[in-house]
Structures are given as C-alpha cells and as structure tokens.
Structure 1
Amino acid sequence: MTGNSLDFGPRRHPRRMSLTPMIDVVFLLLIFFMLASRFGTDAVLPVAAGAEGPGTTWQGAPRLIDIGPQSLALNGVPVAAADLAAALAPLMPAPDAALVLRPRDGADLQRLVEVMDLLRAGGFDTLVLVE
C-alpha cells in the first residue's frame, strides 16, 4: 500500500478518442455530395416534337436518315457521313424543312448525338427523332 486506503491499482491513462469514425463519416458525406451534385451544364438537344408543327403536311421528298452503329442511310441508301449534307441538299424544299432521324438496333445515344451535330454543322436544324 502506498498510504492511501483507496488504492485501486496503477493509474490508467484516459483512452484517446479515435478519429477513424469521424473520418469515415466525412468521407461518406463527401461521396454523397459528389454523387448528388451536378457538375457543369447539361447539353440541350433541340428535337422537334411533331413533323413540322401541328396540322402541317410533309413537303418535299422523304428525308429519312437511318442511323446504325457504324453506318448511315438516307432513304434506305447507304451514305458516308462526310457526304450526308451534300446528299440532303437536293431533297430540301426549304432550309428549315424537317429531317427524320431513326436510330437502328445497336446505335447508341452517342452515335445519335454525333449525327445530330454533323447535321447541325451542315445547316440542318429541324430534326425529328422517331423510333
């Protein structure tokens, strides 16, 4: 005995608080906010809702563009992407006439957007998307 009647053994040091649970919570919150937030702006793809507006009739030659994974066809005739604008020019009754885009099996969204960008670069802005 050391002179104290209430001797409970050697003195223990208080346990240090672990920071691991707090770090885990911080990382979970970080992941949550990264997944829940939006980075940048969304791209807007203007696509016509109807052929050329309600109550209008189709004018001019057919302008159906079939979009395949690696190919394009204008009215059923295969055409290269570089030649698409030139092949469409004689079929257009007016500069703002609609073009009908039809993705085929295997064509993903990226392929559709690439063709839409190609058509816009060629001066064709009125696009109608069908299934």
Structure 2
Amino acid sequence: MFDFAAARRARRPSLTPMIDVVFLLLVFFMLAARFGSEGALPLALGGGAGDWTGPPRLVEIAADGVRLNGVATDPAGLAAALEPLVETRADPVVLRATGDADLARLVALMERLSAAGYTNLVLVE
C-alpha cells in the first residue's frame, strides 16, 4: 500500500538570531538615549539655604493656585509680591508643593522666579 518514510525528528529552533536582534536593539537604544541633563534648575534642598534674614517667604504651590505666606497670590505677580519681603534677590525663598500640585506647575513657577532674579530657591516637602 502506502510506504511512508520514517518520521523525522523535529529540529529545535536556533536562538542565535533572536539573541542577535536583542543585542542590536540594546545597542541602538543605548546610542539613541540621552544621558545628559539639558535643563536643570539649581536648588537647595532642605536646610541648605544659609542664614535666614527678614520675614518668612513661604510659597505654597497647589492645584488651585499659589499662596505666599498663606495668602492667595497670582503666579504672574508672585515676583512682585516677594519684593517687599526680601532685602536682595539672593535671599532664600521656600517653595512647598502640596499633594495635589503637579510638577509642571512647580517647574513653571521656579522658572518664573529664576527669570525674575531669585537665585536661592529652597524646595521643601
């Protein structure tokens, strides 16, 4: 009747091509990644603000707005509101973000204060 050849043993697939592809992807992503920080905001964290002089300058950043020493303040006018509280623009200004504030709002406010000349921003928890 029918004469079938003996069943051949199934070959196991080679893993070498897959390992080569993974290695090439690893090299590609390592070369394409950015390792440097392009923009950094200098900060004093915690107690690195130096000697404190003058009235308190606590800026609280929340999702609903900004408060300076507990008083609601317009973010655009924050630099002007800080003027009477500082002797020089190198005096420390304490920034505290509440739990519902987003990082973008904090960074935008820090950039605005840095552009206004405030150099000693202290970020606290």
Which range, TM-score by smaller chain?
0.7 to 0.9
**Deviation of residue 115 (structure 1)?**
1.2
Is 1:45 aligned to 2:31, yes or no?
no
User: Structure 1 residues 29 and 109 mapped into 2: Cα distance closer, same or farther (>3 Å)?
Assistant: farther
Cα distance, 1:90 vs structure 2? 1.1
Amino acid across the alignment from 1:119: L
Greater percentage in strand: 2
Correspondence for 1:130: 124
CA-to-aligned-CA distance 1:50-94 (integer Å, 9 cap, x gap):
2532xx3x2111110001124111111111111111111111122
User: Structure 1 residues 30, 64: closer, same or farther in 2, change over 3 A?
Assistant: farther
- Write the mapping of 1:42-81 to structure 2, written as runs, cut at 5 A: 42=37, 43-49=39-45, 50=47, 52-53=49-50, 56=51, 58-81=52-75
The size of the alignment, in residue pairs, is 111
TM-score (norm 1): 0.70
How far did residue 116 of structure 1 move?
0.8
Which residue type is aligned with residue 36 of structure 2? T
Identical amino acids, percent of aligned pairs: 39
Structure 1 residues 21 and 51: alpha-carbon distance in aligned structure 2, compared to 1, 3 A threshold? closer
Taking CA–CA contacts closer than 8 Å with sequence separation of 6 or more, which of the two structures ends up with the larger relative contact order?
2
* Residues 107 and 30 (structure 1), Cα distance of their counterparts in 2 relative to 1, 3 Å cut: farther
- After the TM superposition, which segments of 4 or more aligned residues of structure 1 sit over 4 Å from their partners? none
Distance 1:117 1:67 in 2: 14
CA RMSD of aligned residues (A): 2.8
Q: State the one-letter code of the partner of 1:52.
A: A
Q: 1:106 to 1:25 in 2, by over 3 A?
A: same
Name structure 1 gaps, 5 residues minimum. Answer: 1-17
TM-score normalized by the length of structure 2: 0.72
Within 5 A, what are the aligned runs for 1:89-100?
Answer: 89-100=83-94
Show structure 2 runs of 5+ residues with no match.
1-12
